[in-house]
Chain A
Amino acid sequence: MANYAIITDLNRCTGCLACTVACKAINGVDVGSFWIKTLRIGPNPIEGGSGQYPDVEMYFLPVQCQHCEHPECVKVCPTEASHIREDGTIQIDKSKCIGCQFCVMACPYGVRYLNPEERVVEKCTLCEQRISQGDLPQCVQQCGARARFFGDLDKGVDNFEAPAHPDDPGTQYDEMIKTRVKLKDYVEPYKPTDIHHLKNAGNDPKLMYLLREGRKWRE
Chain B
Amino acid sequence: MELQWPLILFTFFMCLSSGILFAQSVLALKGEGRAFQNTSLVASFVAMVVGGIAVFLHLQHWERIFNGFGHITSGITQELIGVVLLFLALLVFFLMARRSEDGSVPAWVAWVGIIVPVIMVAVMGHSYLMEGRPSWNTPMLIVYYLINAALMGSLTVLIIAAAKKQDGDFELLKKIVFISAILQLVALAVYAMVLGASVGTYADHGTYFDPTLPDIPKVEPAAVIGSLFTGSCALAFWGGAIVVGGILPICLSFLLNKAKDAGKTMTYACASLVCTAIGGLVWRGLLYVVALTIFAIFLH
Q: Which of chain A's residues 96-122 have a Cβ closer than 8 Å to chain B?
A: 96-102, 105-111, 113-114, 119-120
Interface residues of A in 145-204 (CB under 8 A from B): 198-199, 201-203
* CA A139 to CA B129, docked complex, whole Å: 33
Within 8 A of A (CB), among B47-74: 58-62, 64-65, 67-71, 73-74
Residues of A within 8 A of B207 (CB): 41-44, 58
Chain B residues with Cβ below 8 Å from A198 are 203, 295
User: Are A41 and B208 neighbours in the complex by a CB distance under 8 Å?
Assistant: yes
Q: Check A39–B70 contact: CB distance below 8 A.
A: no
- CB pair A201–B75 under 8 Å, yes or no, is no
Give the most central of B1, B58, B299: most A CB within 10 Å: B299
Chain B residues with CB under 8 A of A215: none
Nearest neighbor of B80 in chain A, beta-carbon distance: A78
A63-115 residues at the B interface, CB under 8 angstroms: 63, 72, 75-81, 95-102, 105-111, 113-114
CA gap between A37 and B68 in the complex, in Å: 32
CB–CB B62/A98 < 8 A: yes
Q: In this assembly, does A213 line the interface, its C-beta being within 8 Å of a C-beta of chain B?
A: no
Nearest 5 pairs of A and B residues by beta carbon: A99-B60, A108-B132, A119-B60, A44-B206, A201-B131
Give the chain A neighbours of B61 by CB distance below 8 A. Answer: 97-99, 119-120
**CB-defined A-B contacts under 8 Å, sample of 13:** A17-B211, A37-B212, A78-B69, A78-B74, A98-B59, A98-B65, A106-B132, A109-B132, A109-B295, A120-B61, A203-B132, A218-B203, A218-B205
SS class, residues of chain B in contact with chain A: loop
B186 at the interface (CB under 8 A from A): no
Bits for B217-229, please: 1 = Cβ < 8 Å to A, else 0. 0000000000000
Q: How far is the CB of B232 from chain A (nearest CB, A)?
A: 21
With A79-B69, A98-B62, A219-B204: A199-B133 Cβ-Cβ less than 8 Å: no
The reply to whether B295 and A110 contact each other, CB–CB distance below 8 Å, is yes
When chains A and B are docked, how far (Å) is the Cα of A109 from the Cα of B205? 13
Interface residue SS majority, chain A: loop
Partner of B59, one of A95, A99, A106, A199: A99
Q: A77-B71, A78-B76, A80-B68 are in contact. Are A203 and B205 (CB under 8 A)?
A: no
Contact check: which of B1, B80, B131 meets A203 at CB < 8 Å?
A: B131
Count how many chain B residues have C-beta atoms less than 8 Å from C-beta atoms of the other chain: 43
Minimal beta-carbon separation of B261 from chain A (angstroms): 47
If A39-B210, A102-B75 touch, whether A76 touches B299 (CB-CB below 8 Å) is: no
In the complex, A44→B205 CA distance in Å?
9
Verify B206–A199 contact, CB threshold 8 A: no
Cα(A155)–Cα(B61), bound, Å: 40
Contact A34 B212 (CB under 8 A): yes
Distance A42 CA – B127 CA, assembled complex (angstroms): 36
**A79 to B65, Cβ gap below 8 A?**
yes
Verify B71–A100 contact, CB threshold 8 A. Answer: no
B204 to chain A minimum Cβ distance, whole angstroms, is 6
Q: A72-B131, A198-B295 are in contact. Are A39 and B204 (CB under 8 A)?
A: no
Starting from the known contacts A39-B209, A63-B297, A203-B131, 10 additional A-B residue pairs (CB-CB under 8 Å) come to A39-B208, A78-B65, A79-B68, A100-B76, A108-B294, A108-B295, A114-B60, A120-B61, A201-B294, A219-B203
